[in-house]
Amino acid sequence: MTDIQEVLNKIGPYEPAEDDHLLVCRCEEVTKGEIRKAVHEGMFTIEELRRYLRCGMGLCQGQTCGKLVKGIVARELGVAVTDVTPATSRAPMRPTEMEIAGNDGGEQA
Amino acid sequence: MRIERYDMIVIGAGPAGLSAAIEAAKCGIKPIVFDENARPGGQLFKQIHKFFGSKEHKAKMRGFNIGKELLEEAEKAGVKVVLGATVTGLFDGKEVTVRIGDTIKHVQGDSILVATGASENMVNFDGWTLPGVIGAGAAQTMMNLHHVKPGDRILMLGTGNVGLVVSYQLMQAGCEVVALVDAAPRVGGYGVHASKVARCGVPFYLSHTILRAEGDDHVTGVVIGEVGPGWKVIPGTEKHFDVDTICLAVGLSPMAQLLSMAGCQMNDTKGGYVPVIDEDGMTSIDGVFSAGDVTGIEEASSAMIEGRISGLAVAHYLGYIDDAEKQQRIEEQEKALDALRQGMFAPQNRGKKIEKTEEGIPVSENLLDKGYIADDEIARYPGVTHKKGIHPVIECTQNIPCNPCQDACKFGCISIGDNITSLPVVTEDSQCTGCGMCVASCSGQAIFLVEEDVEPGYGEVTMPYEFLPLPKKGDCGVALGRDGKVVCDAEVTKIRSAKAFDHTNLLTIKVPNDMLMKARFFKSQE
Ligand SMILES: Cc1cc2nc3c(=O)[nH]c(=O)nc-3n(C[C@H](O)[C@H](O)[C@H](O)COP(=O)(O)OP(=O)(O)OC[C@H]3O[C@@H](n4cnc5c(N)ncnc54)[C@H](O)[C@@H]3O)c2cc1C
Ligand code: SF4
Ligand code: SF4
């Protein structure tokens, strides 16, 4: 288990940056600054960020921003990109309307 | 509850998925292939350029024609492809949910092959969400599948093969490419691809990145700047271009979500989140296989072979072929795959700086910095010889897995040998007839024919030409050098098109003798 407090001590406080206003997740309009700030609030995995900020939860399901978000988190934590736990993949893999999902009775049509 | 069952469910009808289904069907399996697109073929039908490789890899064929052959083969083998079918989930017991229209179907397979390919990466800069910032693959889909011009003036970010190939295709579609930009210090893709773009006059800006896209409701311009130490842009190096489109070719990421949700063991790599697979393409879940870009980005040629290997492995898994047959047939495919993974751009060489070719010749620094070979570098390569009479000049200077030029010359003028990555050599004592087959067959458009003293003081250069409208005999204009700058006046003396050339036209221009080793492109004057 990661000791959250230890990591937070190591990376120090959030410092505003010039490009904090950059949109990263355009589906849910989440900026780079918000993601960086969230890291300093203790969100280290993509899964946590998704729940906290909704980045990667929009129409494209993180297809566009997933890699970018991971990069930002890794840089903020000072770790390799591959050390950031990726998001859990869940069905449906592509956005599906509730009506269609609701009508799925598990049968073969 | 009744669930339809299949021997083999293939997800993705790209080159990998189709090849797997074909190979399995040939062994007696009845596979079903789902693809969310309206047409099969994956990325292959966007590729209008000639492919590298050897005959076995269908080299010198254009990508979409390879796709056509693949579809015919699939039909003959009895492969059933369901289009407009999005697989939304992959679950325990090899159950798959497919959305077709407004309903979700559940199907189960005795084996599953995931060949869902990859998606394009993005980068952030101010204004990146403006309309007019698009992926290079999207640009390719627009022009080559839907015949829509993505824009008029375009800046391309990324000098990998995708960035280079798409830049060239944009010019073929009638767009102006104002610059090729890459944050890396060296051109990432094949030198031959870079050269054919550079000689049209497109400047390369290596160690540069996009600072911002300009415009209120769509792109009207772009500013780039030079990257210095620590990836910071050096103040004062900003350059502005008027453009209406910015194309991003900054890599692809495997789309492996289905495998990850099914519980396959995954590996987080620099190249993306990919399934752990064995040499046959089987994942950590028994009977679930994977092939193509989803297992790591490569090419269509390797995706097809990986697909064939997985198809055979599935046939073996289901008991349709025995150990001996599997081993023998997979070995053949592995040999072909191995050949593709050789040379300077092989996966194991990614990111390495290579100083010398396999032959020990220094690589062209200028090619890596600016996209073209400098005049004083060209003579050191074995494809470049000097003769008075007509002869080929082969400006192919990197070890890449490719050899159609050798097969093209029926007169033995060109030799690569058994090692497919060796540089092409122009043999000294052979007699070139000027037939032009080598020029048209070269996937990299790197072969020119040169002849001195066609008339007093003047000689001729023949070059591959793939732009419309075609210049006509007698047209006057200028010859451009490898760097895309005007070197002299030129007159078109011949233009040849033939079925065997497969839409590569041969344009012959007359230039002064001392320009024969400089003139590499032609621009009509009006
Ligand atoms: C600009 C460009 C130039 C290239 N040039 C070359 C070249 O010169 N030579 C070369 O060898 N290669 C080239 N390539 C690479 C080549 O196109 C790819 O490597 C190859 O297409 C990968 O094949 P694949 O079958 O793995 O994936 P893809 O071709 O991407 O096919 C995947 C298929 O899966 C489908 N799919 C995905 N998810 C789902 C789902 N959930 N449900 C249903 N269907 C799904 C997609 O619709 C698609 O049809 C180029 C690529 C690009 C972008
Ligand atoms: S022009 Fe014809 S004869 Fe001459 S090298 Fe090329 S293929 Fe051979
Ligand atoms: S010269 Fe030969 S090896 Fe080089 S790109 Fe052309 S066909 Fe391939």
* B369 in Cβ contact with B186 (< 8 Å): yes
Residue B260 tokens, joined? 């990850």
CA distance A104 to chain B (A): 6
Inspect the interface and report whether the beta carbons of B123 and A68 lie closer than 8 Å: yes
Q: What is the mean pLDDT of residues B261-265?
A: 97
Residue B344 tokens, joined? 């300077």
Q: What is the mean pLDDT of residues B277-294?
A: 97
How far apart CA B68 and CA B39 sit, in angstroms, is 12
Domain-embedded: residue A107: no
- As beta bridge partners, residue B463 has B507
| pLDDT tier, A109 (very low <50, low <70, confident <90, very high otherwise) | very low
* B98 in Cβ contact with B35 (< 8 Å): no
> Which residues on chain B are in Cβ contact (under 8 Å) with A92?
88-89, 97, 99
Interface test with A, best of B104, B129, B265, B273 (most A CBs within 10 A): B104
Average pLDDT, chain B: 96
Domain-embedded: residue B455: yes
Domain-embedded: residue A87: yes
Residues 6 or more apart whose Cβ sits within 8 Å of residue B394: B381, B383, B384, B405, B414, B424, B426, B438, B442, B446, B447
Q: Which of B213, B215, B150 is nearest to B177 (CA)?
A: B150
SS3 B176: strand
Between B261, B269, B270, which is nearest A89 by CB?
B261
A45 lies within 8 A of chain B by CB: no
Q: How many helices (H) and strands (E) does chain A have?
A: 5, 2
Inspect the interface and report whether the beta carbons of A100 and B119 lie closer than 8 Å: no
Count of CB atoms situated within 10 Å of the CB of A19:
12
Domain-embedded: residue A92: yes
Check residue A107 and give its pLDDT.
64
Residue A91 tokens, joined? 């069905």
Residue B289 shares a structural domain with residue B232: no
Determine the residue of chain B that is closest to A107 in CA distance: B1
CA distance B366 to chain A (A): 32
> Which residues on chain A are in Cβ contact (under 8 Å) with B1?
106-107
* B488 in Cβ contact with B520 (< 8 Å): no
pLDDT at A1 over 80: no
Check residue B83 and give its pLDDT.
95
Last residue of a domain, one of B192, B214, B248: B248
Give just the sign of the alpha carbon dihedral B465, B469, B471, B475. negative
Residue B98 shares a structural domain with residue B158: no
Residue B29 shares a structural domain with residue B112: yes
* B49 in Cβ contact with B66 (< 8 Å): no
Q: Which of B152, B205, B165 is nearest to B181 (CA)?
A: B205
pLDDT at B161 over 60: yes
Count of CB atoms situated within 10 Å of the CB of B336:
18
Strand ordering across the sheet containing B245-248: B133-135, B245-248, B153-157, B176-182, B204-206
Domain-embedded: residue B365: no
Domain-embedded: residue B357: no
Q: What is the mean pLDDT of residues A47-65?
A: 92
ipTM beyond 0.85?
Answer: yes
pTM assigned to the model: 0.95
CA distance B224 to chain A (A): 16
How far apart CA B79 and CA B278 sit, in angstroms, is 25
> Which residues on chain A are in Cβ contact (under 8 Å) with B88?
91-94, 96
Residue B172 shares a structural domain with residue B286: no
Residues 6 or more apart whose Cβ sits within 8 Å of residue B401: B52, B53, B54, B57, B339, B340, B341, B342, B343, B420, B421
CA distances from B126 to B85, B129, B218, B465 (A): 37, 8, 13, 38
Domain-embedded: residue A109: no
Residue B75 shares a structural domain with residue B92: yes
Check residue B2 and give its pLDDT.
65
Domain-embedded: residue B351: no
Q: Is B394 in the pocket of ligand 3 (CB under 6 A)?
A: yes
Q: What is the mean pLDDT of residues B149-176?
A: 98
pLDDT tens-digit profile of A14-49? 999 999 999 999 999 999 999 999 999 999 999 999
Residue B50 shares a structural domain with residue B147: no
Residue B380 shares a structural domain with residue B323: no
Q: Which of B511, B426, B406, B482 is nearest to B54 (CA)?
A: B406
pLDDT at B476 over 90: yes
Domain-embedded: residue A57: yes
| pLDDT tier, B350 (very low <50, low <70, confident <90, very high otherwise) | confident
- The CATH number of the domain where B272 resides is what? 3.50.50.60
Orientation of helix B161-172 relative to helix B191-198, angle to 10°? 30
Q: What is the mean pLDDT of residues B467-472?
A: 96
pLDDT at A103 over 60: yes
Determine the residue of chain A that is closest to B135 in CA distance: A64
* B516 in Cβ contact with B461 (< 8 Å): yes
Check residue B300 and give its pLDDT.
93
How far apart CA B444 and CA B396 sit, in angstroms, is 8
Residue-number span of the structural domain to which B209 is assigned: 122-248
Q: Which of B89, B34, B96, B102 is nearest to A91 (CA)?
A: B89
At residue B57's C-alpha, the angle toward residues B54 and B59, to 5°, is 55
**Domain total for chain A?**
1
Domain-embedded: residue A93: yes
Residue B256 shares a structural domain with residue B190: no
CA distances from B420 to A107, B319, B485 (A): 53, 36, 33
Which is the closest atom of ligand 3 to the Cα of B383?
A: 1
CA distances from B391 to A10, B150, B449 (A): 67, 40, 6
- Conformational region of residue B224, where left means phi above 0, alpha means psi within -120 to 50, and beta covers everything else: beta
Q: Read off φ and ψ for residue B281, nearest 5 degrees.
A: 95, 5
CA distance B203 to chain A (A): 28
How far apart CA B28 and CA B110 sit, in angstroms, is 14
Residue nearest to atom 2 of ligand 2 (CA): B435
Check residue A108 and give its pLDDT.
56
Residue B286 tokens, joined? 């028994």
Domain-embedded: residue A18: yes
How far apart CA B447 and CA B422 sit, in angstroms, is 16
Domain-embedded: residue B359: no
Residue type, B309: I
Instruction: Show the beta-strand stretches assigned E in B284-386.
Output: 288-290
- The CATH number of the domain where A62 resides is what? 1.10.10.1100
Between B36, B97, B126, which is nearest A91 by CB?
B97
pLDDT tens-digit profile of B187-199? 999 999 999 999 9
Residue B112 shares a structural domain with residue B256: yes
* B47 in Cβ contact with B64 (< 8 Å): yes
pLDDT at A2 over 90: no
Check residue A84 and give its pLDDT.
92
Domain-embedded: residue B281: yes
Check residue B7 and give its pLDDT.
96
Q: What is the mean pLDDT of residues B424-440?
A: 94
> Which residues on chain B are in Cβ contact (under 8 Å) with A96?
88, 99, 104
Domain-embedded: residue B360: no
Average pLDDT, chain A: 90
Give the torsion through C-alpha atoms of B179, B183, B187, B193, to 10 deg: -40
**Domain total for chain B?**
3
Last residue of a domain, one of B192, B224, B248: B248
Check residue B444 and give its pLDDT.
97
How far apart CA B11 and CA B431 sit, in angstroms, is 52
Q: What is the mean pLDDT of residues A68-83?
A: 93
Check residue B3 and give its pLDDT.
81
pLDDT tens-digit profile of B31-48? 999 999 998 999 999 999
How far apart CA B332 and CA B329 sit, in angstroms, is 5
| pLDDT tier, B1 (very low <50, low <70, confident <90, very high otherwise) | low
Inspect the interface and report whether the beta carbons of B87 and A93 lie closer than 8 Å: yes
Inspect the interface and report whether the beta carbons of B105 and A109 lie closer than 8 Å: yes
Which is the closest atom of ligand 3 to the Cα of B190?
A: 5
How far apart CA B509 and CA B526 sit, in angstroms, is 16
Which is the closest atom of ligand 1 to the Cα of B140?
A: 1
pLDDT tens-digit profile of B66-118? 999 999 999 999 999 999 999 999 999 999 999 999 999 999 999 999 999 99
Domain-embedded: residue A43: yes
Question: CA B347: distance to chain centroid?
Answer: 15
Residue-number span of the structural domain to which A26 is assigned: 4-102
Residue nearest to atom 53 of ligand 1 (CA): B137
Instruction: Evaluate the omega torsion of the peptide bond into residue B40 and state whether it is cis, within 30 degrees of 0.
Output: no
* B364 in Cβ contact with B397 (< 8 Å): yes
Last residue of a domain, one of B248, B275, B290: B248
How far apart CA A16 and CA A22 sit, in angstroms, is 12
Q: Is B438 in the pocket of ligand 2 (CB under 6 A)?
A: yes
